[in-house]
Structure 1
């Protein structure tokens, strides 16, 4: 199988491959100073994230819709010796932004450590090929490098997802890496020193505070950028529209592009339940236990589009939106069900032009 056909068969390509054309165009037109080890200047990295039109007419699509200053702050942090911590509630594009930052700066977004309760120190440091270790004893050939160690050797960006999910003693493995820019290997009497261009982008959820809080020593090694939920309905609408269009293309869903009005209704429901009040501010609402994030709104519209394509006439309507919408709201079958039924009867039922959505949701119980 050829490399081209193999790439075409991938369900999701890494950012540096999916947007290779834009990254190449930015590199060609980038005349500003680049920090050591960077493939683009900080200004070009921000343009890659926020979108723009280059001198030759090439269009760079926005990867992040929000305040430009947040992205400038994130990129400026990575120019220094401080690591970057992207903080926010689930679904605020922390992982998405981290991936694209690594792709634009290093050309490689795959040096990733996924934080879980079971993540061990070897995920941040190194492990061993035990067959070689037993046969040959400790040697560099027997050492299995972690993504962090490989990033240090290459002078690239390492990513750590869900940092606060890791046990505290594993988190603190990062202290030496971030302060000394080196990783000791005492078994070999050696160390790996980071090359220029190395840095770390970590993500954490606001709602995870108290799970495994960062130590004071580790907190001092990070600059924190908080990614908020979209400030306005129009901003959130644009995010959902763009991502659903990209997903529909990537997954080859044979349906019409979703009508803007259907997306607007989903976004309105999500924003009202998330904020605990109707958009006109007149009615207070109970809030569900879930985050009602933009990422979930994208999933609701995407699932509806798939239903319309494969079990309908290809046009997205309330009947296709309702199942995923209810699933997104009702995470707790007791508490959230009460919240949803009250919202359905007091808001959706009474809102002009929403009777079809009311009927579709009622039909599903």
Structure 2
């Protein structure tokens, strides 16, 4: 296991899950590992009665997590919606890990996702030799979740073609999946639900039908409300990533993290943090996820090609490719931001020079 690049949430936070289950005295829905209260505590963090500290997996409004978890106790599916980089996939994974102890029942939505990938397929060698049978049937993660009374995750639902999306309607409304070839059906066991994610940048690609929308409760995950909140998110994730990747570099100083976050927030929002100056926005998303990537890449540069301490040059090298995605338009926008905003800031001369050399 130590050789794996990334572990599942239920593996990384196994001790926290065990402690929460042991200390949980609240009512648990059937086939849930822990109560809704414990699931929310696992997500947002807190201290248990025995003093055990649960780390936050989602930094934001607790009420949003309460709404998401309460949805999963009903007969409605959950749709996590928002701009890219707002932790939709992370929340989805941790919800499944806490509720059923298994976050791996996953369908990745793409333009090529077929109905068979959502419903079921066939082992064609057995199908040809024996004809349709239970042995020849290849269940999808959705069918397995129905049988086990567990959570199935569907990533990027709006990237799936509309006619394939509608395959979910019968499953979500009737809680059954007909298998016409066997003249049978699979009925969902209590505890079954679906958590789907979608981002608003894909609006209009394959919008959900009104019939399918009605089967979901939608929770919109917002971008961090304040700079301090976003800094907390980035600090936590950069620390985790550095540890997981075993980067031989120090975790960036808070000053460096705050500078990266501030640049991303200002370019994303179209104005400086104090609201005094407007700035043009580049074409990229510039979410917290991109800020985390910039700092992690900078740590790698510092570790393997420097002295292990993250410096302005490392940050600039990692930042340019994230912000300047259009080599013409974004370069002009970012260059103007550097000359009018960054250049004038006290203590930012090193970062300005490093960035300006590359734009």
The answer to whether structure 1 residue 349 and structure 2 residue 343 are counterparts is yes
The answer to whether structure 1 residue 243 and structure 2 residue 237 are counterparts is yes
Match of 1:336 in 2: 330
> For 1:22-52, what per-residue CA distance to the aligned partner results, in whole angstroms no more than 9, with x for missing partners?
0000000001000011001000000000001
Shift of 1:364: 2.2
CA RMSD of aligned residues (A): 0.6
Q: Kindly report which structure 2 residues correspond to 1:1-365, keeping only aligned pairs within 5 A, or say none.
A: 7-365=1-359
TM value normalised by structure 2:
0.99
- Contact kept, 8 Å, 2:335 with 2:356, in 1: the verdict is no
Shift of 1:57: 1.7
Shift of 1:55: 1.6
> For 1:278-326, what per-residue CA distance to the aligned partner results, in whole angstroms no more than 9, with x for missing partners?
1111111100111110000000011101111111111111111001211
Shift of 1:332: 1.2
Whole-angstrom CA distance in 2 between matches of 1:364 and 1:83:
47
Whole-angstrom CA distance in 2 between matches of 1:341 and 1:227:
31
> For 1:51-107, what per-residue CA distance to the aligned partner results, in whole angstroms no more than 9, with x for missing partners?
011122211100000000000000000000000000000000000000000000010
**Which runs of 5 or more residues in structure 1 are unaligned?**
1-6
> For 1:205-259, what per-residue CA distance to the aligned partner results, in whole angstroms no more than 9, with x for missing partners?
0111100010000000000000000000000000000000000000000111210
Secondary structure class of the residue paired with 1:316: coil
- Contact kept, 8 Å, 2:80 with 2:218, in 1: the verdict is yes
Secondary structure class of the residue paired with 1:35: coil
Aligned length: 359
Whole-angstrom CA distance in 2 between matches of 1:84 and 1:269:
33
Shift of 1:363: 2.2
Whole-angstrom CA distance in 2 between matches of 1:296 and 1:162:
18
Secondary structure class of the residue paired with 1:141: coil
Whole-angstrom CA distance in 1 between matches of 2:69 and 2:176:
22
Whole-angstrom CA distance in 2 between matches of 1:308 and 1:172:
49
Whole-angstrom CA distance in 2 between matches of 1:122 and 1:162:
17
Secondary structure class of the residue paired with 2:341: helix
Whole-angstrom CA distance in 2 between matches of 1:59 and 1:273:
36
Secondary structure class of the residue paired with 1:277: coil
TM value normalised by structure 1:
0.98
Structure 1 runs (4+) deviating above 4 angstroms are: none
